[in-house]
Amino acid sequence: MTQIRSFIILLAITFGLPWFALILMPHMSFKDLAATPYSEDELELADGSSYPPGGAGRVANGHAIYTAEGCAYCHTQMVRPSDQLGTDLWRDEWNGRGLDWEGDEGKPAPIRTLRPEDYLEETVAHLGIQRTGPDLSNFGWRNLSETQIHQSLYSPRSLNGRSNMPGYKNLYRVQRKGSGAGSKALPLEGEFAPKEGYEVVPTPRADALVSYLKSLRKDHLVPKSLSGKGTAATAAGDDAVPQS
């Protein structure tokens, strides 16, 4: 009898502890997160009226496709904090690449570590657990053309011969040349090109996914009230990479 009782108690502890630590505790600490408006003196710094700004329309559809296609199995969207031994921000400092991509005017991205609020507007938060491919938190900063992104989704090896990313051919359509939407045909060459007389064009799902990828910029200013610094809204937290 005592054996059965201790078995049940141990079983309850074995499942109860992880449930408490992995589900209940995070739920309690994050359930009250809400979008935070910028204070008046910050408004001119802010690009929206509250943080974080939400994505709508095609971007939201793209987010759903990213979820459905399982991109998060290989890509994180999480800049790891240096004070928890994450090397993301240090790495940028060392090699000037990593997450520190250059945007439109050749300026480096104002990369900061992410906060729980950064995921507020997302139906699924794609933190990811493994980086088989690069982190995509700030992919929008890479400023690639839509055609380039489409091509790397359709056949990654046509751009990077050693890529081990799968091609998402299900998001594209092979059609006879000149049968509409031809201006969007992907510039595929050699072994990657479709049969003579045919071309590959993106479906609306691929377009939505690309809009979503281009929108990925977790660089919104953090309101003063959250950054807890008593200074103006900052794009870069404590962990900021010194920008040259």
**Residues in touch with ligand HEC (CB under 6 A):** 66, 69-71, 73-75, 132-134, 139, 149, 152-153, 156, 160, 163-166, 168, 209, 213
- Residue 101: CB minimum distance to ligand HEC, A: 8
Helix or strand (DSSP H, E) at 105:
none
Residue with smaller CB distance to ligand HEC, 92 or 117: 92
Q: Hunting for tokens 């559809």 — which residue is that?
A: 61
Residue with smaller CB distance to ligand HEC, 74 or 235: 74
- The answer to whether residues 99 and 82 touch, using CB atoms and an 8 Å cutoff, is no
DSSP state of 242: P
- Residue 133: CB minimum distance to ligand HEC, A: 3
- Residue 68: CB minimum distance to ligand HEC, A: 9
Residue with smaller CB distance to ligand HEC, 38 or 212: 212
Q: Cα angle at 129 between 156 and 205, to 5 degrees?
A: 45
Q: How far apart are CA 135 and CA 78, in angstroms?
A: 7
Helix or strand (DSSP H, E) at 67:
helix 58-69
Residue with smaller CB distance to ligand HEC, 69 or 93: 69
- Residue 244: CB minimum distance to ligand HEC, A: 22
Residue with smaller CB distance to ligand HEC, 110 or 140: 140
By beta carbon distance, the residue nearest ligand HEC is 133
Q: How far apart are CA 165 and CA 178, in angstroms?
A: 30
- The answer to whether residues 200 and 185 touch, using CB atoms and an 8 Å cutoff, is yes
- Residue 237: CB minimum distance to ligand HEC, A: 23
- Residue 150: CB minimum distance to ligand HEC, A: 10
Q: Which residues are within 8 A (CB) of 86 and not within 5 positions of it... i.e. 6 or more apart?
A: 79, 80, 113
Burial class for 36, CB neighbours closer than 10 Å (0-12, 13-18, 19+): middle
Residue with smaller CB distance to ligand HEC, 45 or 125: 125
